[in-house]
């Protein structure tokens, strides 16, 4: 069973490391392999759809086609909560009245994590959906989760609710959600990082903090590694070289800077390797003006085969 | 942007921006710069990266200020790692009418979640702690590094939200609904909230609701204190002693977040100081000449060959150069568009330094760029 055969992959990592790009690339790679993939983001507007050139995907709660075999869905927590209430109460008018009531507003403010819970609950619900023939409706659900701090809060929520809501429907569903998240056969946690000091430290810290939750990451994705454009052997030559022209000088400075950044990245990769034996997938830095479908495809071409190999 | 003047005049600098843009290092470098100019500065941060935390002495005890030894002269630099739960607990201790009410709140399961895990509570507590430290008056300048997340904006609303949350009337409706359903039969209730309550009970379960009721009741005596405090915090943040700075990198997504942030600050009438664009790739060519990549490559190769560089090495150097120029151009285009959208608001570009910044010497390398007078 490969990593792409899971029902849910939850992608998290420090802010700014490229979580969304990696989540999109995983979804694309799964779609390429013939799996039906759903890319889920937790936000009030869909950003991911933009990567696939979809401008009409901004509406939360609505599944949009992004690519053959790939659809996208933005989960907006407040909306998911209302949807959940409708489902639970079986009466839309009552659910709407409740959701609109001030008292309910206070309750959601006071009941920490309720939004996170319904967000995960929605994902759980997606895994349960069946087609008319009884097949699972979604092959792989890739979740572009919030950055680690809030991502961890999200993963912790079902267990917290088992504790605070000790009976009733929410309790039962929290249990089902907690089981889904912790079940390594169904769910995989993908930690994204960059080979820089702060993201690496946060990644190592996250690994520690997952453990008491009974959770474990399946893979580390190290994003944005500089390719070896200038080799270490060129270092000495470049140290003293001063071309006469401005362009030549600029080129030498850029090459030196490249070497320095590669050194930093090598150091951080070493630190990561020394601290954890988790499998690592390394993605290249994209020298592009911004992320687009070509960029996502470039990442997917690396991620797909690597994830296919991972258990 | 004139950071020099800003540092001299402000008592509080709140640094915001999305994750990964270098907020913590920028905050620490601002505080360091202030200290070197003779002020007593303290940088407050939540969850700093380990090596920087180490360098600033933050690993020892959370929620306590540590002096960071500076090489020579000037003022003093302190650093503090915030602990949201501890601040929340202290607030409860301060405002609880009785020891019994205090203990009931601190023991309550809902409170336990609220104070440590709730989205936005960290942000709010950071503001609360900021206010507390400002009141104490020990430091000339406080630099707050806000938590990195999409929730980062929550702190703007947090005082209002907390006020709304603990505001007596509506809460009491909810609480009394709970008591009535629980058979305690208080005053007659509007039908609507009773229906709502029963519906909730079916979904959430009785234990949860009774915990919630207990929590809200225990808060009863604290509403006024909390509300007063939240109003004071909001007024300090809107005051001319405070300035908000945004940090971004010259990449599309963080810039969008910064713009969004800026609009929220303006809407909320909070004092905005400007945008710091961090990690801008330096253009080693110096001026803005527009030559095609092919032409740049030819020129570089010719000049490298002239300097005696072997052709294969020169080819690699040219590759690195052109890759670098792609990022230079990207950054330039993005910064230009940011500047256009910001209109007359101040903007400062800080170059992408070689080598991670994670210690005091690193901050010292960053500092002059922050204190350079920008456009």
Intervals of CATH 3.40.50.300 along chain B: 3-85+121-158+240-282+335-370
Q: β-strand B76-81 against B66-68: which pairing, if any? A: antiparallel
Is 50 exceeded by the pLDDT of residue B375? no
Please give the distance of CA A250 from its chain centroid, rounded to a whole number.
38
CB contacts, 8 Å: B303 with chain A:
243-245, 247-249, 251
Pick the range with the lowest mean pLDDT from A30-39, B178-187, B357-366.
B178-187
CB contact under 8 A, B212 and A111: yes
Model confidence pLDDT, tens digit, residues B120-167: 566 777 888 899 999 999 999 999 988 765 555 666 666 566 555 555
Q: Which domains does chain A have, with CATH numbers?
A: 3-228+277-309 (3.40.50.300)
Comparing CB atoms, the residue among A88, A106, A247 nearest residue B170 is A106
Instruction: Return the pLDDT at A168.
Output: 73
| 3-class secondary structure, B43 | strand
Instruction: Return the pLDDT at A83.
Output: 79
Give the Cβ contact number of residue B339 at 10 Å.
Answer: 17
Instruction: Return the pLDDT at B70.
Output: 85
The pLDDT of B312-339, averaged and rounded, is: 95
Instruction: Return the pLDDT at A239.
Output: 92
User: What phi-psi label fits residue A227: left (phi over 0), alpha (psi between -120 and 50 degrees) or beta?
Assistant: beta
| Residue A295 to residue A293: CA distance in whole angstroms | 5
Give the containing element (helix H, strand E) for B301: helix B293-306
Q: How far is CA A203 from CA A143, A217, A276, B104, B231, in A?
A: 18, 10, 10, 37, 38
Q: How far is CA A286 from CA A47, A295, B40, B328, in A?
A: 19, 7, 43, 14
* Helices within chain A (DSSP H only): 19-32, 48-51, 77-89, 92-100, 102-110, 114-128, 148-164, 169-182, 197-210, 235-240, 246-275, 293-309
Q: What is the mean pLDDT of each run of 10 residues along chain A (311 residues)?
A: 95 90 97 96 73 68 91 87 73 64 58 76 92 91 86 83 74 90 95 92 91 94 96 91 92 95 95 96 92 94 97 91
CB contact under 8 A, A110 and B114: yes
Q: β-strand B242-248 against B40-45: which pairing, if any? A: unpaired
CB contact under 8 A, B50 and A205: yes
The pLDDT of B238-262, averaged and rounded, is: 92
pLDDT, chain B, mean: 80
Fold of B3-85+121-158+240-282+335-370: Rossmann fold (3.40.50)
CB contacts, 8 Å: B202 with chain A:
88-89, 168-169
Q: Which two tokens stand for residue A5?
A: 């055969």
Q: Among all chains, which residue has been given the structure tokens 């030196």?
A: A256
Instruction: Return the pLDDT at A281.
Output: 98
Instruction: Identify the residue among A14, A15, A170 best suited for mutation to test binding to B, counting B beta carbons within 10 A and taking the highest.
Output: A15
Pick the range with the lowest mean pLDDT from A287-291, B71-75, B330-334.
B71-75
| Residue B273 to residue B1: CA distance in whole angstroms | 8
Instruction: Return the pLDDT at B312.
Output: 95
CA angle A45, B113, A103 (to 5 degrees): 65
Give the Cβ contact number of residue B269 at 10 Å.
Answer: 9
Instruction: Return the pLDDT at B183.
Output: 40
Instruction: Return the pLDDT at B328.
Output: 94
Give the Cβ contact number of residue B228 at 10 Å.
Answer: 12
Q: How far apart are the CA of B277 and the nearest CA of chain A, in angstroms? A: 14
Instruction: Return the pLDDT at A71.
Output: 94
| Residue B19 to residue A311: CA distance in whole angstroms | 31
The pLDDT of B183-212, averaged and rounded, is: 54
Give the Cβ contact number of residue A250 at 10 Å.
Answer: 24
Instruction: Identify the residue among A88, A103, A224 best suited for mutation to test binding to B, counting B beta carbons within 10 A and taking the highest.
Output: A103
Instruction: Return the pLDDT at B192.
Output: 45
CB contact under 8 A, B113 and A113: yes
| Percentage of chain B modeled with pLDDT above 70 | 73
Q: Nearest residue of B to residue A251 by CA position? A: B321
Q: How far apart are the CA of B155 and the nearest CA of chain A, in angstroms? A: 14
CB contacts, 8 Å: A250 with chain B:
283-286, 300, 321
Task: Find, among B316, B289, B109, B298, the residue nearest to B213 by Cα.
Answer: B109
At B189, the pLDDT band (50, 70, 90 cuts) reads very low
| Residue B36 to residue A248: CA distance in whole angstroms | 38
CB contacts, 8 Å: B56 with chain A:
none
Is 60 exceeded by the pLDDT of residue B193? no
CB contact under 8 A, B254 and A16: yes
- Contacts A–B by Cβ distance under 8 A: 254
The pLDDT of B298-316, averaged and rounded, is: 95
| Residue A30 to residue A300: CA distance in whole angstroms | 9
Instruction: Return the pLDDT at B225.
Output: 74
Cβ(B348)–Cβ(B274) below 8 Å: yes
CB-based contacts of A192, cutoff 8 Å, min separation 6: A11, A12, A13, A17, A18, A19, A22, A220, A221, A223
């Amino acid at each position: 069973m490969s990593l792409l055969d899971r029902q849910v992959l939850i992608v998290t990592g420090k802010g700014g490391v490229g979580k969304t790009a990696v989540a999109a690339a995983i979804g694309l790679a799964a779609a390429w392999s013939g799996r039906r993939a759903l890319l889920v983001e937790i936000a009030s507007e869909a950003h991911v759809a933009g990567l696939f050139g979809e401008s009409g995907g901004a509406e939360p709660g609505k599944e949009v086609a992004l690519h053959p075999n790939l659809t996208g869905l933005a989960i907006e927590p407040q909306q998911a909560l209302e949807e959940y209430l409708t489902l639970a109460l079986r009466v839309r008018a009552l659910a709407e009245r409740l959701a609109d009531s001030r008292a309910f507003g206070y309750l959601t403010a006071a009941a920490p994590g309720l939004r996170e819970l319904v967000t995960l609950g929605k994902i759980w619900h997606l895994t349960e959906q069946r087609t008319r023939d009884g097949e699972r409706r979604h092959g792989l659900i890739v979740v572009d989760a919030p950055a680690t701090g809030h991502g961890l809060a999200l993963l912790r929520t079902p267990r917290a609710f088992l504790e605070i809501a000790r009976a009733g429907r929410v309790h039962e569903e929290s249990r089902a959600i907690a089981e889904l998240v912790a079940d390594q056969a169904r769910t995989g946690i993908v930690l994204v990082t960059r080979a820089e000091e702060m993201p690496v430290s946060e990644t190592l810290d996250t690994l520690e903090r997952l453990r008491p939750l009974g959770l474990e990451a399946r893979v580390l994705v190290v994003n944005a590694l500089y390719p070896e454009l200038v080799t270490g052997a060129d270092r000495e030559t470049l140290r003293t070289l001063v071309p006469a022209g401005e362009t030549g000088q600029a080129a030498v400075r850029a090459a030196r800077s490249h070497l320095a950044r590669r050194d930093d990245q090598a150091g951080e990769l070493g630190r990561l390797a020394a601290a954890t034996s988790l499998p690592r997938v390394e993605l290249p830095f994209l020298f592009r003006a911004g992320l687009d479908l070509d960029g996502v495809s470039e990442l997917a071409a690396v991620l797909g085969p690597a994830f296919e190999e991972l258990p | 942007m004139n950071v020099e003047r800003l540092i001299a005049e402000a008592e509080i600098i709140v640094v915001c921006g999305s994750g990964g843009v270098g907020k913590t290092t920028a905050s620490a470098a601002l505080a360091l710069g202030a200290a070197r100019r003779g002020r007593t500065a303290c940088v407050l941060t939540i969850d700093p990266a380990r090596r920087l935390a180490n360098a600033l002495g933050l690993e020892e005890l959370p929620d306590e200020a540590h002096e960071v030894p500076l090489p020579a002269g000037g003022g003093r630099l302190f650093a503090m790692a915030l602990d949201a739960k501890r601040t929340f607990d202290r607030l409860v201790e301060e405002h609880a009418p009785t020891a019994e009410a205090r203990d009931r709140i601190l023991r309550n399961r809902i409170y336990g979640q609220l104070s440590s895990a709730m989205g936005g509570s960290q942000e709010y507590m950071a503001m609360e702690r900021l206010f507390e430290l400002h009141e104490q008056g020990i430091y000339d300048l406080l630099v707050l590094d806000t938590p990195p997340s999409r929730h980062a904006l929550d702190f703007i609303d947090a005082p209002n939200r907390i006020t709304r949350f603990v505001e007596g009337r509506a809460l009491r409706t909810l609480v009394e609904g709970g008591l009535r359903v629980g058979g305690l039969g208080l005053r007659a209730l509007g039908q609507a909230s009773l229906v709502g309550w029963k519906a909730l009970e079916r979904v959430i379960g009785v234990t949860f609701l009774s915990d919630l009721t207990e929590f809200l009741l225990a808060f009863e005596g604290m509403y006024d204190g909390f509300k007063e405090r939240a109003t004071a915090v909001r007024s300090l943040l809107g005051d001319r002693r405070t300035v908000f700075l945004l940090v971004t990198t010259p990449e599309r997504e963080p810039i969008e977040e910064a713009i969004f942030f800026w609009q929220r600050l303006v809407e909320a009438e909070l004092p905005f100081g400007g945008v710091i664009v961090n990690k801008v790739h330096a253009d080693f060519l110096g001026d803005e000449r527009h030559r095609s990549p092919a032409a740049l490559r030819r020129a570089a190769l010719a000049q490298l060959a002239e300097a005696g560089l072997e052709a294969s090495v020169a080819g690699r150097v040219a590759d690195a150069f052109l890759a670098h120029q792609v990022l230079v151009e990207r950054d330039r285009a993005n910064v230009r568009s940011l500047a256009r959208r910001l209109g007359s608001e101040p903007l400062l570009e800080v170059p992408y330094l070689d080598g991670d910044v994670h210690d005091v010497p690193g901050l010292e390398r960053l500092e002059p760029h922050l204190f350079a007078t920008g456009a």
